[in-house]
Amino acid sequence: MMTNTFANKAFENTLLERLVQSDRFRIYQDAFRITTGLPLRMVSADPDNWSLDDQAINRSPFCEALNLCESACDACRDTNRKLMREAEAKGPSSCSCFAGLRATAVPVKMGASVIGFLKTGQVFTKPPNEDQFENILGSLGRRTLSETFIGQLKDAYMATRAVEPQRYESMVVLLQTFSEQLGQYVESLAIIEEGTEPSAIARARRFIHSNVDQPLPLGQVAREAGLSESHFCRLFKESTGLTLTDYVNRCRIDWAKRELLRPEVRISEIAFHVGYQSLSQFNRSFARIAGISPTKFRRSRIKRAAS
Residues 217 and 248 in one domain: yes
End of a domain among 166, 189, 212?
A: 189
**Between β-strands 102-110 and 93-96, what pairing exists: parallel, antiparallel or unpaired?**
antiparallel
Domain CATH code at residue 260: 1.10.10.60
19 and 42 Cβ atoms separated by less than 8 Å? yes
Asked whether residue 2 is assigned to any structural domain, the reply reads: no
Residues 170 and 257 in one domain: no
pLDDT score, position 56: 59
Helix, strand, coil % in the chain, rounded to nearest 5? 65, 10, 25
pLDDT score, position 2: 36
Asked whether residue 3 is assigned to any structural domain, the reply reads: no
Q: Rounded to an integer, what distance in angstroms lies between the CA atom of residue 204 and that of residue 45?
A: 31
Q: Rounded to an integer, what distance in angstroms lies between the CA atom of residue 109 and that of residue 12?
A: 10
Residue 104 one-letter amino acid = T
- Which distant-in-sequence residues (6+ apart) come within 8 Å of 153 by Cβ? 62, 65, 66, 137, 145
pLDDT score, position 147: 87
**Number of independent structural domains in the chain:** 2
Residues 152 and 75 in one domain: yes
Residues 204 and 182 in one domain: no
Residues 59 and 26 in one domain: yes
Asked whether residue 241 is assigned to any structural domain, the reply reads: yes
Residues 183 and 73 in one domain: yes
Residues 29 and 175 in one domain: yes
End of a domain among 189, 210, 245?
A: 189
Residues 214 and 182 in one domain: no
176 and 139 Cβ atoms separated by less than 8 Å? no
End of a domain among 157, 189, 221?
A: 189
Domain hosting 270: range is 199-306
pLDDT score, position 1: 33
pLDDT in tens, 250-276: 999 988 988 898 889 999 999 999 999
Share of the chain above pLDDT 70, in %: 84
Residues 173 and 215 in one domain: no
pLDDT in tens, 198-224: 888 888 988 998 899 999 999 999 999
Residues 130 and 243 in one domain: no
| Whether the model pTM is above 0.95 | no
pLDDT score, position 193: 47
Residues 52 and 112 in one domain: yes
Residues 168 and 216 in one domain: no
- Positions in the chain short of pLDDT 50: 1-7, 193-194
pLDDT score, position 6: 38
